[in-house]
Amino acid sequence: MGFIAGVSCGIVLRHALIGSTDVRRVCGGLLGWLSRHPVDRLLPVVTSGQWVWDTDRGDFDRQRSTAVPPALHGVFREEPRHLDLRWARSESELDLRHSRFRDAVAELAPAISACTQSHRVSG
């Protein structure tokens, strides 16, 4: 099963990043986080599997979306903003000279930076 890594308020779901197949652990982490934060603060990062949104149902296609943990089914009203990094698996050298990777980092950086700053202020 493919998974996403979620970036939100400085939190990267580590077990998702390393490709954990422990669905209960991933879902438990997501459900716990979602109980304390609005879903629009989650930036899913697709690293493997399929991400299929069913516009008619207003939810992920549960059969075909292998990158989406069950905890995210029924959570969004419309397809969430997400970052698709599946292409990066086939790249041998990823650094900031790689324009596509640089664009991905530029999209992730504000989410991580803003949350890091809020943690400093509140923590």
Matching residue, tokens 């992730």 = 108
CB count, 10 Å around CB of 36?
Answer: 7
CA distances from 6 to 63, 80, 92, 98, 121 (A): 21, 12, 23, 23, 23
Read off the DSSP letter of residue 20: -
pTM above 0.85, yes or no: no
Q: Which domain holds residue 86?
A: 4-122
For the chain, the domain total comes to 1
Q: Using one digit for the tens of pLDDT, what is the confidence trace for 7-61? A: 544 444 443 444 445 566 667 777 777 888 788 777 788 888 889 999 999 999 9
